């Protein structure tokens, strides 16, 4: 296999960035965080106004549905990312989750270490996708936990502190799973899918897996030379992202190759299409590249929930879509999202062909 280092299903242990900042208060970046490559070549970003907003209430209401479906279709084609408003997740549940996630990162290091990643696994507290010893590092710490289905949870890695963390995350994971089912249904409708295939699509997200990655980006002494999270597209179905404060950091690569800042809009959830949806839509919808930039004064905390369809859904271009458009499939069909994830994790970070392209026919 091409590429350097180990495959993506495990990560090498690296020091906590938050601890580095707490203990050393560096005024320059330590060399492993200094990105002289193309990753930070363009910190330029444009105004925020034109990022699409989709209203879930309008999608649910028959009177406004068709107009909002057109907006959704255009958001998925042009951006692959939009702000979802009026999503129905309770304010109280959101507040509890944000408070507990922030609370976790504020704990002393030794307390967080109780949830530390075990060798050979990405789950727990640590970092993701560090696969070789001289790899440049992202300016973040994270905790990654499987939430759904319940039997997939590794509760020994779920923090017991703050005391309400577990309860909040369990409820939040459930809320995100239900939301993913609704979002998948309307994305299917926007794509022109109907009847049994639409039911199968929505149901597969309702029964599928949810994994939550909570990320802490400390304030950074040289933000223009570091990166909070390296540009990537998500190898998931749908990613639902919650900002835990009002510090911007997420940027999405627009079709014209310009990085656009995603503003933290209180009460909204960022919906980011993953590559499973790109494949299902036969390339009509995008799984956009995105990245996180860091800030000199302010830390940022975010919660990303990766929602995948259950094995009942084959991962390939939609049969109804192919029939309606008369276009040939541009991607292979894999048996399900588990096979898709296995393919993703058996790769190496620097493989020559991007993952999505490796699925092209
Ligand atoms: O922190 C963010 O805003 C983005 C996180 C992200 O892209 C990811 O976890 O895949
Ligand atoms: Fe992402």
| 68-103: pLDDT as tens digits | 999 999 999 999 999 999 999 999 999 999 999 999
Q: Is 229 in the pocket of ligand 1 (CB under 6 A)?
A: yes
Cα of 104 from ligand 1 centre, angstroms: 18
Place of tokens 């905390």: 301
Question: Probe ligand 1: pick from 98, 101, 229, max atoms within 8 Å of CB?
Answer: 229
Tell me how far apart the alpha carbons of residues 129 and 174 are, in angstroms, rounded to a whole number. 27
pLDDT at 9: 66
- Dump pLDDT digits (tens) for 163-175: 999 999 999 999 9
Residue closest via CA to ligand 1's atom 10 equals 234
Share of the chain above pLDDT 70, in %: 92
Q: Is 241 in the pocket of ligand 1 (CB under 6 A)?
A: yes
Residue closest via CA to ligand 1's atom 1 equals 302
Tell me how far apart the alpha carbons of residues 164 and 174 are, in angstroms, rounded to a whole number. 16
- Residue 2: pLDDT band (50, 70, 90) is very low
Topology (CATH) of 27-358: Jelly Rolls (2.60.120)
ipTM comes to 0.99
Tell me how far apart the alpha carbons of residues 87 and 56 are, in angstroms, rounded to a whole number. 5
Cα of 326 from ligand 2 centre, angstroms: 32
Structure tokens at 309: 């369809």
Q: Of 203, 356, 352, which Cα lies nearest the Cα of 287? A: 356
* Strand bridging mode 269-273 / 290-292: unpaired
For the segment 239-247, the average pLDDT, to the nearest whole number, is 96
Structure tokens at 27: 């005024």
Neighbours of ion ligand 2 (CB under 5 A): 234
For the segment 205-218, the average pLDDT, to the nearest whole number, is 97
Among 48-52, 248-252, 286-290, whose mean pLDDT is lowest?
48-52
Single pTM value for the model:
0.95
User: Does the pLDDT at position 7 exceed 70?
Assistant: no
Question: Probe ligand 1: pick from 143, 235, 302, max atoms within 8 Å of CB?
Answer: 302
For the segment 114-132, the average pLDDT, to the nearest whole number, is 85
Q: Between the ranges 46-55, 188-197, 331-340, where is the mean pLDDT highest?
A: 188-197
């Amino acid at each position: 296999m091409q590429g350097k280092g180990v495959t993506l299903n495990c990560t090498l242990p690296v020091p906590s960035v938050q601890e580095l900042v707490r203990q050393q208060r560096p005024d320059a970046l330590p060399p492993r965080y200094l990105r002289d490559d193309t990753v930070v070549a363009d910190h330029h970003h444009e105004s925020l106004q034109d990022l699409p907003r989709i209203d879930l209430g309008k999608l649910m209401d028959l009177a406004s549905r068709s107009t909002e479906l057109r907006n959704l279709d255009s958001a998925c084609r042009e951006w692959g990312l939009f702000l979802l408003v009026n999503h129905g997740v309770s304010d109280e549940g959101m507040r509890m989750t944000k408070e507990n996630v922030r609370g976790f990162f504020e704990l002393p290091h030794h307390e967080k270490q109780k949830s530390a990643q075990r060798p050979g696994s990405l789950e727990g507290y640590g970092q993701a996708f560090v696969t070789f010893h001289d790899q440049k590092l992202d300016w973040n710490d994270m905790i990654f936990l499987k939430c759904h289905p319940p039997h997939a949870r590794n509760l020994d890695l779920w923090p017991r502190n703050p005391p309400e963390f577990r309860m909040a995350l369990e409820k939040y994971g459930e809320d995100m799973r239900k939301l993913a089912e609704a979002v998948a249904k309307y994305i299917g409708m926007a794509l022109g899918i109907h009847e049994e295939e639409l039911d199968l699509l929505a149901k597969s997200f309702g029964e599928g897996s949810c994994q939550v990655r909570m990320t802490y980006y400390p304030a950074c002494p040289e933000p223009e030379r570091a990166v909070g999270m390296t540009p990537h597209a998500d190898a998931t179905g749908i990613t639902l992202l919650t900002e835990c404060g009002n510090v911007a950091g997420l940027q999405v690569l627009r079709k014209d190759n310009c990085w656009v800042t995603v503003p933290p809009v209180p009460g909204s959830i960022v919906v980011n299409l993953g590559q499973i949806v790109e494949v299902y839509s036969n390339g009509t919808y995008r799984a956009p590249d995105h990245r996180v930039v860091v800030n000199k004064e302010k830390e940022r905390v975010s919660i990303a929930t990766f929602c995948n369809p259950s094995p009942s859904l084959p991962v390939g271009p939609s049969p109804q879509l192919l029939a309606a458009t008369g276009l040939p499939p541009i991607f292979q069909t894999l048996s399900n999202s588990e096979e898709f994830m296995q393919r993703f994790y058996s790769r190496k970070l620097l493989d020559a062909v991007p993952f999505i392209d490796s699925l092209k026919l």
